[in-house]
């Protein structure tokens, strides 16, 4: 039964790694063994490449684009005449004029003649007429069956409105104007010349094909490019044609794709296996936390997908991805070693998408290490701004170094990469927002949050200082003592400092029952030892309730629960034993609920709490007396097995003793007695 939760957690971790692998592999760039990774205007990183078959040489994309622009400028669109419009308008107008009894036959004949003349010249819609007036449409061609006329000027073409005005201008007498207006000719006029879009597009495609035909042929065995050659626009086009033809000629394309997919899976599985092995052997606490594993795999997967998206969107888009946010996020919640390992896995996963893998890996490694070193402890937002500047400098220097080393010239440097690195650094400065989001999603506690919790203006600490001033001073002293030892051991100093400030908040419920808050009256005198022990032991449970009510992080609650472990309220237990010398005294009512410390930080706090409290009862503050007190208290805890579940080593215990003794000797040093003033 005990193995069941462990097996479930292991299965869940395996599922998390599997999901990450599937997502990364699915969105990886679709490449094959015959595909090279290169960029225009950058050096060729591979050995000599010769043509394995005849390769047609096309114009480069820029030349083709210029040629197409020339075709567009010179292209004459095709129009067709709708003869039905001419006859329909003529019939409608003749009928309308006939209904006007006072319009003579001669005038009707002149009006009809001008209308036929307008349609013979051509009537087009308003948008086409605007193009004619503005000079964008100078000539047109007309389609007659399968034949096209020669380009003709558009100067005689009119819009319906302009045609109506022209007819009135040609018949200036008032009677003719009255007849034209009464017949409602303006509403009858409509375009009889319509653009033949289908024919125009067909002819335009034919013109495009003419400028896109091959301009030469690379014969089989002829040199294409060699290592170090710059990929010019022409060579870039040749290489793209070569890859396309090679893909089309692949006889076993399906089998090749299958092997490619298998290789991708193996590549990602190996990297994730390395991460899993690192967590298992060096970070078992992180491995046992499913949320932590989900976060680490998730951040690698998200950045891999982001790299694939931006890398495919534009050239060198991979350098916009703020990879240095990966070690920053991991460092804030875990440690520098885990941050470095996660960065390496992420970079190696994404290197598959890079045009120049060596350059990419080197730049990301240098920038990532810079970010980790600049943020050993993130406690202020301004540190992220400083880190962003350092990351940009690291990117720039690494880019210059790797390019000079591979090409020996500054000509290969491009301003685009520097710009992308600058954008990348700006994104890094926004990591503070993501830290807040991750805290809420996964329930982690960052160093920033611990710094905020250590503020003595926090409502819980303000209440502690008001209700239990002695306990508050004790907590401050324990915090200083424990954080000093944590610094010597390389433990999480900020976590120890915050945990020490909150470890005794349960005493707020009964402040007078604790010695440091008493002023001459001891309420325990009226209680039997078991009742007193219940109150003393209960401050742990009360503290956990207050922590839950104040929504303190779980890592802080661990200090409250573990700072006495499964130890006993020794004073009251021994008092009960003395009062009942011939009876067995059950230690259960005198035992703290625990559990025992399970981390280096909570172990340090247990030792510091007991040593600081006991040091107040010393009558002799000599170095020998302080050393003896520290040794006695810590050795007793170790002998009782209170630190058996903690990863503390014997050398750690020795260093803690030395740190506590040195600190207490400094606090309780002898002072000069000043003489009275005479």
Q: Which pair of tokens denotes residue 174?
A: 């008032």
Whole-number Cα distances in Å, 83 to 183, 193, 505: 22, 9, 97
Per-residue pLDDT, 444: 85
Whole-number Cα distances in Å, 389 to 59, 141, 372, 392, 393: 43, 62, 13, 5, 6
Helices (H), 375-456: 382-407, 415-428, 431-442, 447-453
Residue 128: CA count within 13 A, CB half-sphere: 24
36: confidence class by pLDDT, cuts 50, 70, 90: confident
- Cβ atoms of 481 and 611 within 8 Å: the answer is yes
Per-residue pLDDT, 32: 44
Residue 533 CA to residue 594 CA, distance in Å, equals 15
Question: Which of 294, 323, 659, 629 has its CA nearest to residue 491?
Answer: 659
228: confidence class by pLDDT, cuts 50, 70, 90: confident
| Domain spans in the chain, listed from the N-terminal domain onward | 3-31+258-442, 70-209, 447-667
- Cβ atoms of 558 and 499 within 8 Å: the answer is yes
| Token pair 């006859």 in the structure block, residue | 87
DSSP 491-559: --HHHHHHHHHHTTGGGGGSGGGSGGG-SS--GGGGS-HHHHHHHHHHHHHHHHHHHHHTT--HHHHHH
Q: Report, as an integer, the average pLDDT of 527-550.
A: 92
Per-residue pLDDT, 452: 84
Q: Report, as an integer, the average pLDDT of 552-574.
A: 91
671: pLDDT strictly greater than 70: no
Strands 223-225 and 147-148, sheet pairing: unpaired
301: pLDDT strictly greater than 60: yes
Per-residue pLDDT, 39: 73
Residue 615 CA to residue 516 CA, distance in Å, equals 13
Per-residue pLDDT, 552: 92
Question: How does pLDDT run across 598-633, given as a tens digit for each residue?
Answer: 999 999 999 999 999 988 888 888 888 999 999 999
Residues β-bridged to residue 152: 140
Q: Report, as an integer, the average pLDDT of 668-674.
A: 58
Question: Which of 195, 192, 205, 237 has its CA nearest to residue 218?
Answer: 237
Per-residue pLDDT, 411: 73
Residue 81 CA to residue 378 CA, distance in Å, equals 76
Helix (H, G, I), strand (E, B) or coil at 223: strand
316: pLDDT strictly greater than 80: no
2: pLDDT strictly greater than 50: no
Kindly report whether the global pTM for this prediction surpasses the value 0.75.
no
Domain range 447-667, its CATH number among 1.10.3470, 2.60.40, 1.10.3210, 1.10.260? 1.10.3210
394: confidence class by pLDDT, cuts 50, 70, 90: very high
Whole-number Cα distances in Å, 43 to 52, 227, 404: 22, 7, 12
Question: Which of 110, 126, 264, 240 has its CA nearest to residue 173?
Answer: 110
Residue 414 CA to residue 39 CA, distance in Å, equals 12
Helix (H, G, I), strand (E, B) or coil at 313: helix
Percentage of residues in the chain having pLDDT higher than 90: 35
525: confidence class by pLDDT, cuts 50, 70, 90: confident
Per-residue pLDDT, 33: 43
380: confidence class by pLDDT, cuts 50, 70, 90: low
Per-residue pLDDT, 675: 63
Question: How does pLDDT run across 168-221, given as a tens digit for each residue?
Answer: 899 888 888 888 888 888 888 999 888 888 888 888 888 888 877 777 788 888
Per-residue pLDDT, 537: 92
Helix (H, G, I), strand (E, B) or coil at 67: helix
Question: How does pLDDT run across 141-178, given as a tens digit for each residue?
Answer: 887 766 777 888 888 899 999 999 998 899 888 888 88
Average pLDDT, the chain: 86
Q: What angle do CA 604, 609, 614 make, to 5 degrees?
A: 130
Per-residue pLDDT, 214: 78
Of 51-65, 89-103, 662-676, where does mean pLDDT reach its minimum?
662-676
22: pLDDT strictly greater than 80: yes
Of 213-217, 363-367, 376-380, where does mean pLDDT reach its minimum?
376-380
When comparing pLDDT for 646 and 66, which is higher? 646
| Token pair 């503290």 in the structure block, residue | 543
Per-residue pLDDT, 658: 93
Q: Which pair of tokens denotes residue 434?
A: 């993501």
- Per the document, the length of the chain is 678
Question: How does pLDDT run across 324-359, given as a tens digit for each residue?
Answer: 999 999 988 888 899 999 999 999 999 877 877 888
589: pLDDT strictly greater than 50: yes
When comparing pLDDT for 130 and 413, which is higher? 130
Per-residue pLDDT, 255: 54
């Amino acid at each position: 039964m005990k193995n069941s939760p462990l097996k479930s957690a292991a299965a869940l971790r395996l599922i998390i790694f599997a999901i990450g692998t599937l997502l990364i592999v699915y969105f990886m760039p679709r490449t094959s063994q015959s595909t090279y990774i290169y960029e225009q205007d950058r050096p060729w990183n591979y050995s000599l490449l010769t043509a394995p078959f005849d390769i047609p040489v096309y114009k480069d994309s820029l030349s083709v684009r210029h040629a197409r622009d020339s075709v567009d400028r010179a292209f004459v669109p095709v129009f067709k005449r709708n003869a039905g419009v001419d006859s329909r308008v003529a019939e409608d107008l003749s009928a309308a004029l006939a209904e006007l009894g006072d319009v003579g036959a001669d005038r009707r004949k002149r009006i009809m003649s001008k209308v036929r003349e307008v349609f013979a010249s051509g009537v087009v819609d308003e948008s086409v007429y605007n193009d004619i007036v503005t000079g964008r449409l100078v000539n047109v061609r007309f389609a007659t069956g399968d034949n096209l006329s020669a380009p003709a000027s558009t100067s005689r073409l009119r819009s319906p409105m302009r045609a109506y005005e022209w007819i009135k201008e040609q018949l200036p007498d008032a009677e003719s104007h009255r007849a034209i207006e009464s017949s409602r000719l303006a509403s009858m006029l409509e375009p009889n010349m319509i653009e033949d879009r289908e024919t125009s597009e067909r002819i335009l495609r034919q013109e495009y094909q003419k400028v896109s035909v091959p301009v030469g042929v690379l014969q089989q065995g002829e040199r294409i490019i060699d290592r170090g050659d710059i990929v010019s626009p022409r060579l870039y086009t040749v290489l793209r044609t070569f890859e396309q033809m090679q893909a089309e000629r692949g006889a076993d394309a399906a089998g090749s794709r299958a092997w490619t997919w298998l290789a991708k899976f193996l590549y990602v599985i190996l990297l994730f296996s390395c991460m899993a092995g690192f967590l298992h052997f060096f970070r078992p606490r992180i491995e046992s936390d499913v949320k932590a594993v989900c976060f680490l795999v998730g951040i690698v997967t998200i950045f891999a997908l982001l790299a694939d998206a931006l890398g495919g969107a534009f050239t060198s888009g991979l350098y916009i991805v703020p990879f240095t946010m990966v070690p920053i996020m991991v460092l804030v919640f875990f440690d520098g070693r885990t941050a470095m390992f996660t960065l390496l896995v992420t970079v190696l996963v994404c290197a598959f998408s890079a045009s120049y893998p060596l350059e990419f890996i080197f730049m990301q490694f240098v920038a990532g290490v810079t970010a980790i070193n600049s943020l050993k402890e993130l406690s202020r937002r301004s540190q992220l701004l400083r880190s962003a500047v350092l990351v940009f400098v690291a990117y720039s220097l690494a880019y210059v170094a790797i390019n000079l080393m591979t090409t020996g010239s500054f000509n290969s440097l491009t301003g685009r990469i520097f710009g992308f690195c600058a954008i990348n650094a700006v994104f890094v400065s926004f990591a503070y927002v993501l830290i807040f989001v991750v805290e809420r999603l996964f329930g982690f506690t960052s160093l920033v949050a611990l710094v905020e919790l250590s503020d003595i203006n926090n409502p819980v600490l303000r209440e502690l200082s008001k209700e239990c001033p002695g306990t508050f001073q004790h907590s401050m002293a324990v915090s200083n003592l424990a954080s000093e030892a944590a610094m010597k051991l390389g433990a999480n100093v900020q976590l120890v400092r915050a945990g020490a400030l909150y470890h005794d908040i349960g005493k707020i419920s009964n402040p007078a029952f604790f010695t440091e808050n008493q002023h001459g009256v001891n309420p325990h005198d009226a209680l039997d030892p078991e009742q007193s022990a219940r109150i003393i032991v209960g401050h742990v449970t009360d503290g956990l309730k207050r922590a839950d009510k104040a929504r303190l992080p779980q890592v802080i609650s661990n200090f409250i629960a573990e700072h006495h472990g499964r130890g006993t309220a020794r004073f009251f237990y021994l008092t009960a034993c003395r009062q009942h010398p011939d009876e067995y005294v059950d230690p259960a009512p005198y035992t703290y609920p625990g559990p025992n410390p399970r981390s280096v930080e909570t172990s340090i706090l247990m030792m510091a709490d007991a040593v600081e409290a006991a040091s107040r009862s010393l009558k002799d503050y000599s170095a020998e007396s302080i050393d003896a007190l520290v040794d006695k208290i810590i050795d007793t805890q170790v002998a009782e097995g209170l630190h058996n579940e903690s990863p503390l080593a014997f050398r750690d215990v020795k260093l803690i003793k030395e740190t506590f003794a040195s600190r207490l000797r400094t606090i309780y040093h002898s002072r000069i007695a000043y003489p009275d003033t005479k």
